[in-house]
Amino acid sequence: MKLLIKQGVIVNPDFKKRADILIENSQISRIEENISEQGADKIISAEGKFIFPGFIDLHTHLRTPGREDEEDLLSGSLSATKGGFTTLLSMPNTIPPIDNYEIALRIRKEAEKIGLVDIYPVGAITKNREGKEISEFGFLAEAGCLAVSDDGFPLKETSLLRRALEYAENFNLLVISHCEDLSLSKGGLIRESPLSAEWGIPSVPEISETVDLVRQIEVARYLNSRVHFAHISSKRSAELIKRAKEEGINITAETCPHYFTFSLKEIEESGFSPLYKVNPPLGREEDKLALKEALKEGVIDVIATDHAPHTYLEKEVDFKSAEFGMIGLEFALPLSLGLVREGFLSLEDLTCRLSYRPAQILNLKDRGYIKEGLRADLTIVDTEREQLITKENIFSKSKNTPLLGKVLKGEVVYTIYKGKIVYSSSR
């Protein structure tokens, strides 16, 4: 099977150029200005479109096993293809948690059978995610895990954090860390702010994230270990990460589209719609701006979705009873393109944040860049096309997003995974 993509603009982290791409046997076999159509089994015209290395999401909740009513591997895979993602990490806060070889392997195998996107289960750092004993990292790595995380919870005990970082290094696993001081965040629903004071809403202070971040940076510095920080949400955190990186500490960080798209303003204007309830909570306008700057400067390495599907009943309740989280796989591209339109990022930067850096962080050498010999994971994008977000056109099983009814600019037109077209926009 030979797939030929004609006349698209290839967007690598370091350059853009118009070229044809020939795909053979799931790999990119040739990139040239003009490749003859002769012998191609299928031709995609990408005139006026941009071709990115397939997006890689370091932070997805696929709810499998245990909450397949919210999302399962198939619906999650479909949602990913629609969003242009070809690789993703599935978080272990499942029932039971992904804390052993058998569960991890099962997810990896089932996802392979579906074959729409490369799904790597993330192993739980601690058995049963209880924050006590360390899981069998070696076996988890053998089952196909690239990373471990107790996402949703911080590692409260610093000695445990230390051992987890050391032990993970043993098996070349990435540790993804959730920063939150639970004694400060307890009961909180939105960021502590003039809005929380005015409305008397239980709140989470900014220091809940930053105090824990500083603690974890110090452990990483001391051990000279690597840590990746999940869903960074505040200006101050970005400053602390910048400082640590300047000191040469081996850390990386992600933020999510909702943190650079929404703020407390939307919470207030929506009349406290629980669809804006996420953890960590949305920040102020100045946090939003600082996160955009941090993505521009590379202080924050990655845009990850924290795709968190929830059923209707878990979200359409009062703000306090509602679960935390919103779905994100299908909106990451258009929301990130917003940063390009606002002048914060170039398209090359976008490749960096959505593909290249995630691949580097995961040490996946066969993807994250478009060149001959690498795996043919490609996302073809129409940056100008507009889409109305409705429940009907969301592929995820869950519809919990405040973007319903909104028009977003920029859409994936083709997603190619291992050389196969796994998604094409029907329009």
User: Of the ranges 6-14, 51-59, 108-116, 196-204, which one interacts with another protein (CB under 8 A)?
Assistant: 196-204
Q: Based on the shown chain and the rule CB under 8 A, indicate whether residue 201 belongs to the binding site for another protein.
A: yes
Single residue of 1, 182, 197, 407 touching another protein by CB under 8 A: 197
Count of residues engaged in binding another protein, rule: CB under 8 A: 22
Per-residue three-class SS string for 7-32: EEEEECCCCEEEEEEEEECCEEEEEE
Per annotation, catalytic residue among 72, 99, 150, 306: 306
Q: Which stretch binds another protein (CB under 8 A): 11-19, 186-194, 256-264, 331-339?
A: 186-194
By CB under 8 A, residue 199 contacts another protein: yes
Nearest distance in Å: CB 154, another protein: 21
Identify the sign of the CA torsion 17, 18, 20, 26.
positive
CB-wise, 19 or 201, nearer to another protein?
201
266 binds another protein (CB under 8 A): no
The region of 149-157, 197-205, 349-357, 408-416 touching another protein under the rule CB under 8 A is 197-205
Q: Is 194 in the site for another protein (CB under 8 A)?
A: yes
**Cα(390)–Cα(75) distance, rounded to whole angstroms?**
16
Residues 283-342 that bind another protein (CB under 8 A): 313, 316-321
Q: Which residue, 18 or 320, is less far from another protein as judged by CB?
A: 320
Q: Does 343 participate in binding another protein (rule CB under 8 A)?
A: no
Nearer to another protein, 200 or 343 (CB): 200
Among residues 150, 192, 212, 301, the one that binds another protein under rule CB under 8 A? 192
| Binding status of residue 1 toward another protein by CB under 8 A | no
Distances (CA, A) of 64 to 61, 72, 263, 309: 8, 6, 30, 11
Instruction: Confirm whether 69 is a catalytic residue.
Output: no
- Which residues carry out catalysis? 306
- For another protein, the binding residues (CB under 8 A) are 192-194, 196-203, 205, 271-273, 313, 316-321
